[in-house]
Chains A and B, each alone.
Chain A
Amino acid sequence: MIQDFITIIQDYWLLLLIGQYPNGPLGGLANTLILSALAIALAFPVSILMALARLSKWWFLRWPMTALVYVTRGVPLLMLILWCYFVIPLWTGADVPSFLIMLVTLVIYQGAFLSEVVRAGIVSLGQGQMDAARALGHGYMGAMRFVILPQALYNMIPSMISTFVSTIKDTTLGYVINVPDLTFAASQVNNQLLTQPFQVFLILAVVYYILCWSLTYVANSVERRIARRRAGPRNARLPAEAAPLKTITEQL
């Protein structure tokens, strides 16, 4: 049994790592990592803008964004992917690569979820912080940038990591529109072997697990470092009463 895994990895490690590259498009784990990183990196700022739009006093920002968030959160991701896959080429008339379609879909979808997290973080701070900043002469955006968002985003780190982790996991759905990612590579391997689906997909599961777990680990240690700094130089240990992050148990 163990031998099966070793043989599969020995025979197919390059395919699983970079797909058909350089003879075909970049794929495999490399593509999964690029897609995840881009989706997270783009969804994060997008979600802040979406949250600010939803909290805006101007209805022409607030209404459409609220509608977008409700609709996006209310439909399955797979449906959204298929919809973008068929509609975007119709609209643009161009042959849009499936990677780009997947990326855009993920940014919108995870951006919508993340924007609710960011919005909750902002709202939960209460009016006092905004009042204090305004009373000192900060404008709305200045208050957001220097006072509200640093706190809101910090408080929301656990929920944001959850969303980031699910972004990584959702890249697997790119399989249905032929995005050549790790899942796609694994199913190619499976199609060639035919007899060892359990082994192939267990390898796939382990890789995804390591990926998601390391993201959680890094984010947790960043959060601990901030908490330590805030606890001050004299008691430079995380206070015992600080609630441990639940991200690992919630998400994986």
Chain B
Amino acid sequence: MSTSVSEPQAATAIRIADVCKNYGDYQVLKNINAEVARGEVVVICGPSGSGKSTLIRTVNRLEEINGGGISFEGQDIHAPMRASELNKLRSRIGFVFQSFNLFPHLSVVENVSMSPIRVKGVSPATAHDKALKLLDRVGLADKANSYPGQLSGGQQQRVAIARALAMEPPVMLFDEPTSALDPEMVGEVLSVMKSLAAEGMTMLCVTHEMGFARDVADRIWFIDAGEILETAPPEEFFKNPRHPRAQRFLADLRH
């Protein structure tokens, strides 16, 4: 983990402060307060409908919030700002979707290289080489010229991770990256995520993969009904969950 002088809040990658969000009268997020340190891997878990996905989508402002603030490397993501400024901030936060959302009209290598070219102004040749390296890293170098429609779900999600990494983000967000996959493909995606974590990437993951959470996470946030009820290191969370709701959630998982 490197600490640079130019970024004053080097220890904290993401700080979520008093975040509230509601759809009409229904409050999805209630005064969320949490932090992700640099190089930390945080897994958000909790029952469906608890607000996990909404929370992670507010971090790069795919969802707006109704109160509070979220800072990313010291910059408030939800402050009023020019569109170009927000785009710049977003380009530094990798995001992996449950449904992959690859661009089906582009080949795999184009999927990975397009945004560096169009958003960052990287030269096409450089972006192409970089894309091939990233595809190699996720084990898909041989699929560079295929189209997303020709790949399995697990392969598509690995391309999506490579696509996000191509922007060289200091932080990666994962929104249930394995939930849309057939069981036999979950492993290949998790192992890419594990290797990323091992390299020191700051990661915030919404996932139902408790094995992954146990092995890789530095901390677990347990969220229910729009509130973070417990944050704890995985061994503590899985052995002695303090909050009764977390105890019930873990008991339900064991059945």
Q: How far is the CA of A150 from the CA of B104 in the complex (A)?
A: 10
Q: When A131-B62, A230-B149, A232-B147 are in contact, do A137 and B119 touch as well, CB less than 8 Å?
A: yes
Closest 4 CB pairs of A and B: A137-B91, A132-B101, A135-B95, A136-B115
B87 within 8 A of A: yes
A151 within 8 A of B: yes
Q: Which residues of B84-117 have CB atoms within 8 Å of chain A's CB atoms?
A: 84, 87-88, 90-95, 97, 99, 101-105, 114-115
Q: When A131-B97, A134-B90 are in contact, do A140 and B103 touch as well, CB less than 8 Å?
A: no
Asked if A137 contacts B105 (CB within 8 A), the reply is no
B146 within 8 A of A: yes
Asked if A138 contacts B119 (CB within 8 A), the reply is yes
A59 within 8 A of B: no
Number of B positions contacting A (CB below 8 A): 32
Asked if B87 contacts A139 (CB within 8 A), the reply is yes
Q: When A131-B62, A131-B97, A232-B147 are in contact, do A138 and B118 touch as well, CB less than 8 Å?
A: yes
A142 within 8 A of B: yes
Q: How far is the CA of A232 from the CA of B147 in the complex (A)?
A: 7
Residues of chain B lying within 8 A (CB to CB) of residue A154 = 105
Asked if A136 contacts B163 (CB within 8 A), the reply is yes
Residue of B nearest to A131 (CB): B62
Please list 9 pairs of residues, one from A and one from B, whose beta carbons are closer than 8 Å in the complex, sorted by A's number: A128-B99, A133-B103, A135-B62, A135-B94, A136-B164, A230-B105, A230-B149, A231-B147, A231-B150
Asked if A128 contacts B97 (CB within 8 A), the reply is yes
Q: How many contacts between A and B, using CB within 8 angstroms?
A: 71
Contact mask for chain A residues 124-149; partner B; CB cutoff 8 A; 1 contact, 0 none: 00001101111111111010001100
Q: Which residues of B181-195 have CB atoms within 8 Å of chain A's CB atoms?
A: none
B145 within 8 A of A: yes
Taking beta carbons and an 8 Å cutoff, which residues of A are in contact with B? 128-129, 131-140, 142, 146-147, 150-151, 154, 230-233
Asked if A136 contacts B90 (CB within 8 A), the reply is yes
B246 within 8 A of A: no
Residues of chain B lying within 8 A (CB to CB) of residue A147 = 103
B54 within 8 A of A: no
Most chain A beta-carbon contacts within 10 A, residue among B105, B149, B167: B105
Q: How far is the CA of A137 from the CA of B91 in the complex (A)?
A: 4
Most chain B beta-carbon contacts within 10 A, residue among A132, A137, A150: A137
Residue of B nearest to A151 (CB): B105
Residue of A nearest to B143 (CB): A232
Asked if A137 contacts B147 (CB within 8 A), the reply is no
Asked if B119 contacts A142 (CB within 8 A), the reply is yes
Most chain A beta-carbon contacts within 10 A, residue among B91, B97, B115: B115
Q: Which residues of B55-91 have CB atoms within 8 Å of chain A's CB atoms?
A: 60, 62, 83-84, 87-88, 90-91
Q: How far is the CA of A249 from the CA of B99 in the complex (A)?
A: 36
Residues of chain B lying within 8 A (CB to CB) of residue A134 = 62, 87, 90
Asked if B83 contacts A139 (CB within 8 A), the reply is yes
B224 to chain A, nearest CB (A): 25
A106 to chain B, nearest CB (A): 30
Residues of chain A lying within 8 A (CB to CB) of residue B105 = 150-151, 154, 230
Asked if A137 contacts B103 (CB within 8 A), the reply is no
Asked if B149 contacts A136 (CB within 8 A), the reply is no
Asked if A139 contacts B84 (CB within 8 A), the reply is yes
Extra A-B contacts (8), CB below 8 Å, given A131-B101, A136-B163, A232-B146: A132-B102, A134-B90, A135-B60, A136-B90, A138-B87, A151-B103, A230-B104, A233-B145
Residues of chain B lying within 8 A (CB to CB) of residue A150 = 105
B97 to chain A, nearest CB (A): 6
